[in-house]
Structures are given as C-alpha cells and as structure tokens.
Amino acid sequence: MIVETDGMTDTLERARVSGQSRGEVIREICRHLVPFQTGERPITGDTVIAKDLTIDSLAIMDMVMELEDHFDISIPMNVVAEIHTVDQLADTIQKLCARR
Amino acid sequence: MGLFDRHAGLLEAYRDVRTTGYDPFQIRMERVLSPTEAIINGRKMLLVGTNNYFGLTFDPSCMEAAIEAIRAEGTGTTGSRIANGSYSEHVALEQEIAEFYGKKHCMVFTTGYQANLGLISTLAGEGDQLLIDADSHASIYDACKMTQAEVVRFKHNDPSSLEARLRRLGDRPGNRVVVLEGIYSMLGDSAPLREFIDVCKKYGAYVIVDEAHSLGALGDNGRGLCESAGVLDDCHFIVGTFSKTLGAIGGYCVSNDPDFDILRVTVRSYMFTASLPPSIVASVRQALKVVKARPELRTQLWSNVATLYEGLAAKGFKLGPEHGPVVGVHLPDRMTAIGFWRAMLDAGIYVNVAVPPATPNGVSLLRCSVCAVHTKEQLEHMIEVMTGIGRQLGVLDDRTLRVVGGAR
Ligand SMILES: Cc1ncc(COP(=O)(O)O)c(C=O)c1O
C-alpha cells in the first residue's frame, strides 16, 4: 500500500515538473526579469528582453542559467542568441521540458 | 544607420570612463623602467597591473637570449609555419614545454588568445557539446562562436553546476568538452580542479585547462593548477601563454593525444598567421629555464600576494575570495571604480580598472596584479595610498576604520 502511494506521488511529481504550464513558465521568467524592468511598462509575452529592459547580454545569459536549473534543462548559447521575446523564451523552455 | 550605432551603449560607458580626464584603455607608458616602474604622464609610477608575475621582462638572461637570436636569425619569420616552415627554435621550444609538463606533444601559437580560439573551436565540432565556466576569458567565448558545437555555460567554479549539465545530456551522442581556467583573471580565484575532474571522469568528458595566470605561480615546479591539484594526467589539453609569467608573447597547448599533430593542419589560428619571431622564442626558452631554476620567485610572489591581500583586507576592502597573483578589489559601482583608479594614478600607482561588461556579475573592480619583484615597501605604500583614497571616496566604512584604529 505504502509502496503504491509512493509510486503515485512520484509519477505526479514528474508530470508536474516536465509538463510545465505556460503560466508557470512565464511567471518564473518574469520573476527573473522584474529587477530589469524600466518605468511602468509591464513585462508581457511581447517584451523584447534585450531592448525593452535594462539587461545586458551577460545578465541575460546568467538569467538563462538560473532558469535552466529551475526547469532542469539546458538551453545552448546558440539557441539563446535566437530568442528575443519573453514568449520565445517560454516556448523554448516548454519545448525542452517536454523533450526531457 | 551609422556603422557604430549598434555600439551606442558601449560608447556611453566609454565616455563615462573618459570623464576622469585619463582614458584607462589608452594609457601611454612613456618609458618602462623595470617590471615595477614606468613613466606615465611625465612621472614615475609604481606598476601593479601588468601580469608580469615573475618580473622576467627585464631578466638579463632573457634579454640577452632575445638579442642574440635577432643577430643570428633576424627580426621576424614573415609567415606561418605551414607555409614558411619552422625555425629550429620553434621546434626546440615545443619540445621543452612538452618536457616541462611531462606531456608528449606541444604546439606553439602566436598568442594565447589564438591558442584558445583555434584549439577549442577545432576540438569541439558539430554534434559535440562544449561546456564552459560562466566567467571564462574572452578567447574561450570567442572560440564558442566559431564552432557548430552546442555551448552551455555552468556556474563559475561550481562542479555541481557542471555535473547537472552533463547529466542532462544523458546518452545523446557527441563528445563532451569542458573548458576551465587555472586562475581566473579578474578575481584571482582558482578552480576546484580535482572536483571538476571527478565530474568529468564520471561523464567521460574531455578537459581543457587554461593556465594563463597560473603558469609559474602554482605547483611545485610551476606547471600550474593541474600540478598543484595533482591532475596533470587527467587534463587532456593544457593551454597557456608566454605573455604573463614568461614576460614575452605567445601561446601554447600540450597534450598526450596520439593524433595531436593533426592540429597543425586543422587549427586555423595556427595555420594562417605568422609564427613567433626568433627573439621571442629565444627569450621564452630562457624564461622557462629561469622558472625551473629559481623556485624562489614563486615563493616571493606568494609572499607579496599575502602582503597586499592581507593588508587591504585588514583595512576593510572587499577582495576576491582567495589569495592569488591577481588581487581584485570590489568597488560599489562603475564611477567609483573609475574615480578610484584615477586617484591612484594621481598618487603614482598604476593598476587596472575593470567594469561591466568585461567583468563577471556586473561587478566593478580595481584589478591589481602582483609581481615577485615588488618590494614590501612598494606594496605597503600602495595599501596606505588605497586606504586614504578609500576613506575619501567613502568606500571604507567608518566602523571598519574604528576597529582597525582601535586594534593599533
Ligand atoms: C585566461 C586567459 N586566457 C588567455 C589569455 C590570452 O593570452 P595572450 O595574451 O597570450 O593572448 C589571457 C590573457 O589575456 C587570459 O587571461
């Protein structure tokens, strides 16, 4: 009985981590971007990370490293280079999470 | 759009730096007097920002060797080694460096930058995975731009961060190539190399270690961190430079790989640039002899490091995490760092100023590099000057000063 319950929790846990909901992913990205927000403009899916925020390329790479560890995925630097908006970053994270 | 419009942000930062009246990126040494002194702006300055760790730029035996080589073989090679051929001196130098490390092969480059650029981009290609420390030198980052390999950064000096990234690769095909540095050039901290090597072994990854700042400084024989950590045999490639401890210019890599010589016809930064001139090769060969014959230079270097590091720490400065030939002094922001640097120049001391984006985590630093031939008096004078400026600029908080004052 106990074994069964344990197995159950395990499966649920895995489903929770690998099938990241869009909202969860966006929330996590925003948590890292808020310190770089400029003025009153809210961060949305369309926010162009390098342009609309006061964040330099090194800080973007450092943020990506934090997200990698949070979602237990790796996002290669050449992939990061192609990402411009928050939505694109979320797409990449969801795709890599699903593949895991 | 103007040709430099995309660099507007950098231009602005550069303007900030120049507001002090001096441009730290265009300092003119009117005359260099010794490894530790030069004339700048018409006055004698103490140099504490040269990477000249053993002070060999003025070693009489190295200078003589270079002069003799010029007389014997002229001023330059006027071409690359694959096109114009190697001079005997190039081959002898490669043998001597290989022997120094106890490795089978060595290849010499015209700079250390080119060694990293060419070697890393050649060893990791399409389908491979390149894993680099977040605080890697520009030459390593630039190599990453030249390869089709997937590049992933791991947290600085954090073997568990590397392990997570190797684990995530699972059973995907491709070589894993990990790049590390012996001593990091901004804060003088060294890699936990043994732990890194254990992780690399567990996942079957190849390891390249750049010993640019640790050659001479670390290890019983001065071979660097690989020697002091006892992992010389576990490092597949060691890279280094002649431009710091050896007091000249040039780069190298050593390895035991049986197919090493393939590199001579695949590494573009070796094939398509002129080889080192005879004078440089001769002075480097001599400098390597000096490193072997005079271990006391290493002892002096570390004793000087202790004087500067402990002296500054006692005054309340925030420094890099450990003793190292580079002592990085943290300052609160870019303008304070630039103002501090300028004030030191006015007081007759030259150090490096390092500000974002050239620094890790956006920190602003005064980067001091210690020399074995600095005198204790020179360094104590520097600590005094820095303490004065630190007080004036409000960098040292009063509480620290009272504690230090009370302890006297
Ligand atoms: C870690 C590191 N690697 C490589 C280099 C490049 O060396 P070189 O001056 O020989 O091009 C440097 C020096 O700037 C360095 O700090």
- The string of DSSP codes covering B158-184 is -HHHHHHHHHHHTT-SS-EEEEEESB-
Rounded Cα–Cα distance for residues A100 and B19 (Å)? 51
CA distance A30 to chain B (A): 19
Which residue reads 């001597």 in tokens?
Answer: B96
pLDDT at A91 over 60: yes
Centre of ligand 1 to C-alpha B285, Å, is: 19
What number of other Cβ atoms are within 10 A of residue A8's Cβ?
Answer: 10
Cβ of B185 less than 6 Å from ligand 1: yes
Range A29-99 has CATH code 3.40.50.300: no
> In the 8-state DSSP scheme, what is residue B274?
P
Label residue B350 by pLDDT band (50, 70, 90).
very high
pLDDT for A56 equals 87
Mean pLDDT of chain A: 84
Gap from B280 CA to chain A (nearest CA, Å): 36
pLDDT band at B398 (very low <50, low <70, confident <90, very high): low
What are the tens digits of pLDDT across the range A50-73? 999 989 888 999 999 999 999 999
pLDDT at site B306: 98
Chain A residue with the nearest C-alpha to that of B160 = A69
Q: For chain A, what percentages of helix, strand and coil (3-state, to nearest 5) are there?
A: 70, 0, 25
Q: Which two tokens stand for residue B274?
A: 């002129």
**Overall average pLDDT of the B253-272 stretch:** 97
Global pTM value: 0.92
B24 lines ligand 1 (CB under 6 A): no
Distance from residue B85's CA to the centre of ligand 1 (Å): 26
Class of domain B22-51+295-392: alpha beta
Report which secondary-structure segment, H or E, holds B335.
helix B334-346
User: For position A15, what pLDDT does the model report?
Assistant: 45
C-alpha of residue B207 to centroid of ligand 1, in Å: 18
Residue B371 confidence class, pLDDT cut points 50, 70, 90: very high
Atom of ligand 1 nearest to the CA of B113: 11
pLDDT in tens, B22-55: 787 888 999 999 999 999 989 999 999 999 999 9
| Predicted ipTM of the assembly | 0.87
pLDDT at B401: 52
Arithmetic mean of pLDDT over chain B: 94
Tally the C-alpha atoms within 13 A of residue B329's C-alpha that lie toward its C-beta.
33
Position A5 confidence tier, pLDDT thresholds 50, 70, 90: very low
Cα–Cα distance list, B281 to B76, B81, B214, B223, B330 (Å): 11, 14, 20, 19, 37
Q: Is B260 in the pocket of ligand 1 (CB under 6 A)?
A: no
The topology (CATH level 3) of B60-293 is: Aspartate Aminotransferase; domain 2 (3.40.640)
**In terms of pLDDT, which residue wins out, B27 or B203?**
B203
Residue B356 has pLDDT above 50, yes or no: yes
Question: Lowest-confidence range among B96-100, B168-172, B203-207, B395-399?
Answer: B395-399
Q: What pLDDT digit, counting tens, does each position of B322-346 carry?
A: 999 999 999 999 999 999 999 999 9
Q: Where are the domains of chain A?
A: 29-99
